[in-house]
Amino acid sequence: MTEFTIINPDRQRLAAIAAKQGLKAIKLGMRLNSSYTPKRCREVAEEFTGKKFKARDYDGMIAAIEEGLNDDA
């Protein structure tokens, strides 16, 4: 098992990465746990990107998060 430490993490960026993975699972019809609800993932995506999304616009949310993550890199 590989272990790593993130020094000085950007919590909003980490939340966006987790939400992106949650949205991918939701899109496939899976539920990871009660924290990764469609509504919560949408809220994180809206907070991270500054855009508003429709309730089931999973592809749009995933693309916007990826774009935001690439812009920050």
Residue 30 belongs to a domain: yes
Q: How far apart are CA 41 and CA 49, in angstroms?
A: 12
Residue 27 belongs to a domain: yes
Cβ neighbors of 37 (< 8 A, separation 6 or more) are: 31
Q: How much is the pLDDT for 34?
A: 82
Q: How far apart are CA 46 and CA 31, in angstroms?
A: 20
* Size of the chain in residues: 73
Q: How far apart are CA 67 and CA 36, in angstroms?
A: 21
Residue 56 belongs to a domain: yes
43: containing domain = 11-72
Q: Full-prediction pTM beyond 0.85?
A: no
Residue 42 belongs to a domain: yes
Question: Could you give the number of structural domains in the chain?
Answer: 1
Structure tokens at 40: 């919560």
Q: Kindly report, residue by residue over 12-62, the tens digit of the pLDDT.
A: 898 999 999 999 999 999 888 887 899 999 999 999 999 999 999 999 999
Residue 15 belongs to a domain: yes
Residue 2 belongs to a domain: no
